[in-house]
Amino acid sequence: MTALRSFQSFLYQHIPLVAQMKMELLDLTTQELLAAAPLAPNINDKSTVFGGSSAALMTICGWSLIKLQLESHGIENDVVIHRAETTWKQAQYDDLIIKAMTIDDVDWYEVAATLKSKNRAKKITIKCQVLNQKQEICSCMSANYVVLKLNS
Does the footprint of a second copy cover residue 129 (CB under 8 A)?
A: no
Does the footprint of a second copy cover residue 46 (CB under 8 A)?
A: yes
Options 20, 72, 133, 152; binder of a second copy; rule CB under 8 A: 20
Options 3, 71, 73, 82; binder of a second copy; rule CB under 8 A: 82
Question: Residues in the chain, how many?
Answer: 152
Task: Write the CB contacts of 48 (distance below 8 Å, at least 6 apart in sequence).
Answer: 91, 92, 93
Taking residues 94 to 123 in sequence order and writing x for each that binds a second copy by CB under 8 A, - otherwise, the string is ------------------------------
Does the footprint of a second copy cover residue 36 (CB under 8 A)?
A: no
Pick 106 or 128: Cβ nearer a second copy: 128
Options 25, 55, 66, 106; binder of a second copy; rule CB under 8 A: 55
Can you give the binding site for a second copy, defined by CB under 8 A? 10-11, 14-18, 20-21, 40-46, 50-53, 55-57, 59-60, 63, 78, 80-88, 91
